[in-house]
Amino acid sequence: MKTFKLLINGKWIESSSGEFFTSINPANEKSIGKFQKGNEDDVNQAVDAAKRAYATWKKVPPPKRGEILFKFAQLLRKNKEDLARCVTQEMGKVIAEGRGDVQEAIDTAEYFAAEGRRLLGHTTTSELRDKFSMTVRMPVGVFGLICPWNFPTAIPAWKIMPALICGNTVVFKPATDTPLCATKFIELLQKAGAPPGVVNLITGSGTDVGTPMIRHHDIRGISFTGSKRTGEFIIKEAGMKKVGMELGGKNGIIIMDDADLELALDGVIFGAYGTTGQRCTATSRIIVHEAVKSKFEKMLISRIKKLKLGDGLKTTTDVGPLINKPAADKSHKYVLIGKQEGAKLLCGGNYYGTKGFFYQPTLFTDVAGDMRIAQEEIFGPVLSLIPIKTLDEAIDVMNNIEYGLSSAIYTKDVNSGFKAISEIETGLTYINSSTIGAEVHLPFGGVKGTGHTREAGIHGIDEFSDVKTVYVDYSGKLQKAQIDD
Q: What is the DSSP letter of 372?
A: G
pLDDT digits (tens, 9 = 90+) for 223-236: 999 999 999 999 99
pLDDT digits (tens, 9 = 90+) for 36-74: 999 999 999 999 999 999 999 999 999 999 999 999 999
Fold entry, domain 251-431: Aldehyde Dehydrogenase; Chain A, domain 2 (3.40.309)
For the chain, give the number of residues: 485
Rounded Cα distance, 364 and 345, in Å: 5
Please answer whether residues 85 and 92 qualify as being in contact, where contact means their C-beta atoms are separated by less than 8 angstroms.
no
Question: Who's near 415: CB < 8 A, 6+ residues apart?
Answer: none
State yes or no: pLDDT of 104 exceeds 90.
Answer: yes
251-431 shares the fold of 6-247+451-470: no
- List active site positions: 246, 280
pLDDT digits (tens, 9 = 90+) for 175-208: 999 999 999 999 999 999 999 999 999 999 999 9
The reported pLDDT for the residue numbered 329 is 98
- Which alpha helices (DSSP H) does 36-126 contain, by range? 40-57, 62-78, 80-91, 95-115
State yes or no: pLDDT of 484 exceeds 80.
Answer: no
The reported pLDDT for the residue numbered 485 is 67
The residues that bridge with 386 in the sheet, in sequence order, are: 287
For the chain, give the mean pLDDT: 97
The reported pLDDT for the residue numbered 299 is 98
pLDDT digits (tens, 9 = 90+) for 424-480: 999 999 999 999 999 999 999 999 999 988 999 999 999 999 999 999 999 999 999
pLDDT digits (tens, 9 = 90+) for 130-179: 999 999 999 999 999 999 999 999 999 999 999 999 999 999 999 999 99
The reported pLDDT for the residue numbered 1 is 86
The reported pLDDT for the residue numbered 452 is 85
Top CATH class of 6-247+451-470 equals alpha beta
At 439 the three-state DSSP class reads coil
The reported pLDDT for the residue numbered 239 is 93
Domain ranges of the chain: 6-247+451-470, 251-431
- Report the candidate in 47, 269, 280 with the shortest Cα–Cα distance to residue 154: 280
The reported pLDDT for the residue numbered 385 is 98
Query: What does pTM read for this prediction?
Result: 0.96
pLDDT digits (tens, 9 = 90+) for 361-412: 999 999 999 999 999 999 999 999 999 999 999 999 999 999 999 999 999 9
Residue 357 confidence class, pLDDT cut points 50, 70, 90: very high
pLDDT digits (tens, 9 = 90+) for 311-346: 999 999 999 999 999 999 999 999 999 999 999 999
CA distances from 111 to 190, 195, 438, 445 (A): 19, 21, 14, 18
